[in-house]
Structure formats: C-alpha cells, structure tokens
Amino acid sequence: MELKSLLDQTIIVAKEAGAFIRKERQSFDLTKVEHKGFNDLVSYVDKEAEKIVVNGLQQILPEAGFITEEGTINKQEDVYNWIVDPLDGTTNFVHGIPVFSVSIALMKEGEIILGVVYEVNNNECFYATKDGGAYCNDTKISVSQAPSLSSSLIATGFPYYDFEQVDQYMELLKYFMINSHGIRRIGSAAVDLCYVASGRVEGYFEYNLNSYDVAGGLLIVQEAGGKVTDFNNGDDYIFGRQIIASNGNIHQELYDQIKKVW
C-alpha cells in the first residue's frame, strides 16, 4: 500500500483513540488508576485506547506485527511492525494535566517509515513519512534555527523509577538550567519530540524510555530537519533507552555535557 494512504488512515486511527481518551478524561478520577509497578500508572483508558488503535491498524495493514505498551496483542512480523503507545503521558492524564498523546510508528525491516503523534487536547496531529517531510495538522514544520544552547529551551523527563543515575542526571539539569533559556518537563516523550520538531524547544534528552515512548516522534524530528542520537552519539535510540533529540545546531553541546557525566 502507498505510504501516503497508510499515513492518512493511521491519522484517522490516532484521532479515534484520542477522541476516546478525551471523552473518558471527563469522568476520570484517581480511584480508576492501577499500578503496573512502582510509580507506573495505568488505567482502563490506556488499555481500551490501545484496543482501538490495534483494531484500526490491523485493518490498514493486516500483515504487520505489533510492539505495544499495554501488550493487548503479541505478534511481531519480519517486515512490518507497528510500535504503539496508546496514551503517552499517563501521569498527566490521571492527574488532569492536559498534555498527553497517542503515539504510533510503522517500522519496515527495522527502520521507521511513518510516525504519527496526536496531542489530544491541543488537537494537534504531528506526522511524518520517510523522505516526505514533517507536519502538524496540515502545516509543514521544521526545527528551530537557534544556533546554540545559550538561546535554547530544553525539554527532558525526570527519572521516576530507577534512581541509580539520578546524581548524574541532576548534574545535567544544573548545567542546562544555568546555560540555556530553561528546562521543561512536559510529561509525554512523544510530545517532547514533536516540540523539538516544531521548533518550540531546541533540545530534548531522557533515559530509561521504551521503544513505544519514542518511536512515533523520532521520524517527525528527523523529517523536520532535526537530529536524534543515543547518549553515545550513535543510532541505538529506538530500543536503546537513551535519547537526545535536537534542532541539530545544539546537538554537540547537549552530547558533550551528557558524555561528561554519563
């Protein structure tokens, strides 16, 4: 199937799940939260949203497998695999902070060829296809032209369950706090990546993320002219649990600081 047609249908699926999440939020309260592990929150909304996404995607491309956060399906294939986070930003969702997203990527033989991130409450749908550019709704987006860290805003995610490297992380925060326009903790890795892609922030770094947290946003950053690496300046950022994304101009500065402490 043609990539453009796959994209259009994936966007419809992401928005359908987003509409469900938005509706459920209206009657949501903290008693409906379950704990998957320490600080790891999940609810029926995550699981139901995943079913909506998986059902929709199965109809679009029946031969594709899946990697999903909630594991409602367990089937990987050789050529095509969807990587799905049905609700990225669950902690925000359960506390009523209105920043969360539906994140979907399509991988072909290990390479991401399509990414869609739907930021539910802003009604902003970010998307990209391989070599097709990056968009927010129907407008082409590109990364910020800021030349250096000193003129940049940096997004990150705080550690929340594995605190072994928290001292190194705090050193980085201190450095970026002093040497940039500031730091933002948005709460959805997928949204962080889209904000790099659309030039709202210049850089983003986080560790201990899973493939489904970042897969949907990676290609959007790259197609918007940005750069993505792992903490070693390599390309193990889908499954490698470490990510640096930037407008390109400030990548070396981010990497140099991370390398110093990591």
Answer for which of 18, 115, 157, 217 binds ligand 2AM (CB under 6 A) is 157
| Binding flag, residue 115, ligand 2AM (CB under 6 A) | no
Q: Which is nearer to ligand 2AM, 83 or 189 (CB)?
A: 189
| Binding flag, residue 217, ligand 2AM (CB under 6 A) | no
| Binding flag, residue 160, ligand 2AM (CB under 6 A) | yes
Rounded distance, CA 214 to CA 132, Å?
19
Rounded distance, CA 105 to CA 113, Å?
8
3-class DSSP state of 39: coil
Asked whether 207 and 183 are in contact (CB, 8 A), the reply is no
Q: Which is nearer to Ca ion, 7 or 84 (CB)?
A: 84
Binders of ligand 2AM among residues 26 to 65 (CB under 6 A) are: 39-40
Residue 204 host element (H or E):
strand 203-207
CB of 187 to Ca ion, least distance (A): 10
CA 64 to chain centre: 21
Asked whether 54 and 68 are in contact (CB, 8 A), the reply is yes
| Binding flag, residue 188, ligand 2AM (CB under 6 A) | yes
| Binding flag, residue 85, Ca ion (CB under 5 A) | yes
Q: Which does 187 bind (CB under 5 to 8 A by kind): Ca ion, ligand 2AM, none?
A: ligand 2AM
CB of 213 to ligand 2AM, least distance (A): 4
Answer for which of 89, 203, 216, 226 binds ligand 2AM (CB under 6 A) is 89
Rounded distance, CA 262 to CA 256, Å?
10
Q: Which is nearer to ligand 2AM, 202 or 206 (CB)?
A: 206
3-class DSSP state of 127: strand
Q: Which is nearer to ligand 2AM, 90 or 222 (CB)?
A: 90
Residue range at the interface with ligand 2AM (CB under 6 A); choices 3-11, 50-58, 181-189, 218-226: 181-189
- Total interface residues for Ca ion by CB under 5 A: 5
CB of 78 to ligand 2AM, least distance (A): 27
β-pairing, 242-246 vs 40-43, is unpaired
Tokens of 199: 């030039």
Rounded distance, CA 133 to CA 138, Å?
11
| Binding flag, residue 69, Ca ion (CB under 5 A) | yes
Residue closest to 220 by CA, chosen among 114, 144, 82: 114
Rounded distance, CA 248 to CA 154, Å?
13
Binders of Ca ion among residues 213 to 242 (CB under 5 A) are: 213
Rounded distance, CA 75 to CA 72, Å?
10
| Binding flag, residue 91, ligand 2AM (CB under 6 A) | yes
Q: Which is nearer to ligand 2AM, 19 or 33 (CB)?
A: 33
Residue closest to 135 by CA, chosen among 197, 218, 42, 79: 197
Interface contacts to ligand 2AM, rule CB under 6 A: 39-40, 69, 85, 88-91, 157, 160-161, 187-189, 206, 209, 213
